[in-house]
Structure 1
């Protein structure tokens, strides 16, 4: 509900900061700011020196996703059905992965999806909550040039987010499948990260495959490109047959792993808040 135009600025800000949604917004802003501070360290290959910004970024993600999960599951039930419902919830999966990344070796790729989610969520909260608190709608019949400008900015933000949201989510899915998993595999091979990390993340991607159209599209795109490159008769003739056979076996193993039964979440569950 928009704040009353006749209320004071102090009252409006007090009402704004009291809600858990404001803490959720602060978590997203923390993720964005700390990611921005981490980027120069990553760009100069000074990963260890910037590790504190990496952990602070994921701490912000922990705060945001904890608020969403708490609002979705305010009462804990010690039943198998509740546990299954809990772990099938997308926000719980992202919260668990945020905990995992928070304690992992700093990498840029895992930050990217969370930062994109944080950008869209914090932008929408700014439009729907912060701007109205700072510049409330004037009473009917009253004119306020500042309020009109703010309303125009709000409409532009809404139009931009609605136009670019699907593209951003498709990009996130591709980064999750290629960028993050590729970084984990490379880190495991070069002994820079744990060999268990790709296994843990593979289970996360299995859930994402079932729950996200964008993730399924990303997998389909990657498979089509690799098939065209490797699998005969359309594959590159310079690729040895043993490589094609190995790829086919790996593809089959990944498909069987991904087809393991995962129950869909109940209708109306929130996703990546």
Structure 2
């Protein structure tokens, strides 16, 4: 998912119809678009409070769950508005399942109801920050403070400057942060086998759909290949480890060609 760009539901009506009356241009706080923003804003705020509570050595699980509720609501609104499953007679389940937003929604729901793992919030937090900034820049400021053009310019510069770097960082966190934490948690009984399987499938889909994830995994795979495959494998590495790595690599099939990502296009 190209956070800050593809997943943001943009209302094109005003820009395409400059002749609309003022009352028709007024920002609608009851719209799905605003509900989408509220979900991401809730995620950002609750993630912040959760981090603060951790710094004081008393993590408050309420903020963790509330952050995921906001995330689930936002992704749910995007998918609902895009596919309208109860009113669309030609509802395409396969397309919905391959949508990047669906993949993130499934993972968010899973972590909402499973054991609390703080690092899983980081990718969602980064996405939500960009979504909130974009909404403030394109909706709140033009409607509530149209004279604040300098602020708009500053926000736009921040998004342009840091978007790609942040998405690359998210890919690294999803692989080396979240996945590593889930695997290590198996050995200390702080994560389940199911969580590892669910997230492995998620990363497999991210490899196909996200250029950032694919680039990082290919880079990581090249380094791992040098260390665990002959003739460059270290002589002290047991053959069983080398064979296990070869089997795992074959099962994951990371050498397959990427498939086009489906990302919901929406106008809320």
What residue in structure 2 maps to residue 104 of structure 1?
114
Q: 1:80 to 1:209 in 2, by over 3 A?
A: farther
Q: CA deviation at 1:50?
A: 1.8
Candidates 53, 72, 83, aligned match of 1:62: 72
What residue in structure 2 maps to residue 34 of structure 1?
46
What residue in structure 2 maps to residue 82 of structure 1?
92
**C-alpha distance in structure 2 between counterparts of 1:135 and 1:190, whole Å:** 52
Q: CA deviation at 1:153?
A: 1.9
**C-alpha distance in structure 1 between counterparts of 2:203 and 2:176, whole Å:** 11
Runs of 4+ in 1 over 6 A off after TM superposition: 11-14, 77-81
Q: CA deviation at 1:14?
A: 6.5
**C-alpha distance in structure 2 between counterparts of 1:205 and 1:80, whole Å:** 29
With normalisation by structure 1, the TM-score equals: 0.80
Matched, 1:17 2:29: yes
Q: CA deviation at 1:78?
A: 8.7
Q: Which has the higher contact order (CA 8 A, sep 6+)?
A: 2
Unaligned runs of 5+ in 1: 137-146
**C-alpha distance in structure 2 between counterparts of 1:26 and 1:154, whole Å:** 20
With normalisation by structure 2, the TM-score equals: 0.81
Candidates 110, 115, 118, aligned match of 2:125: 115
**C-alpha distance in structure 2 between counterparts of 1:236 and 1:44, whole Å:** 44
Q: 1:78 to 1:189 in 2, by over 3 A?
A: farther
What residue in structure 2 maps to residue 169 of structure 1?
167
Q: 1:56 to 1:12 in 2, by over 3 A?
A: farther
Q: Deviations over 1:143-172 (max 9, x none)?
A: xxxx2xx21221221122122111111111
Q: 1:79 to 1:231 in 2, by over 3 A?
A: farther
Q: Deviations over 1:160-203 (max 9, x none)?
A: 21221111111111111221111111222221222111111111
Provide the secondary structure at the position in 2 that maps to 1:229.
helix
Tell me the matched-pair count. 250
Q: 1:79 to 1:135 in 2, by over 3 A?
A: closer
Q: CA deviation at 1:42?
A: 3.8
RMSD: 3.0
What residue in structure 2 maps to residue 215 of structure 1?
213
Q: Decide which structure has the larger Cα Rg and report it.
A: 1
What residue in structure 1 maps to residue 134 of structure 2?
124
**C-alpha distance in structure 2 between counterparts of 1:113 and 1:187, whole Å:** 19
Q: CA deviation at 1:262?
A: 9.0
**C-alpha distance in structure 1 between counterparts of 2:250 and 2:133, whole Å:** 41
What residue in structure 2 maps to residue 143 of structure 1?
none
Contact 2:50 2:64 in 1 (8 A): yes
Q: CA deviation at 1:234?
A: 3.0
Candidates 188, 193, 196, aligned match of 2:194: 196
**C-alpha distance in structure 2 between counterparts of 1:14 and 1:77, whole Å:** 28
Q: CA deviation at 1:23?
A: 0.9
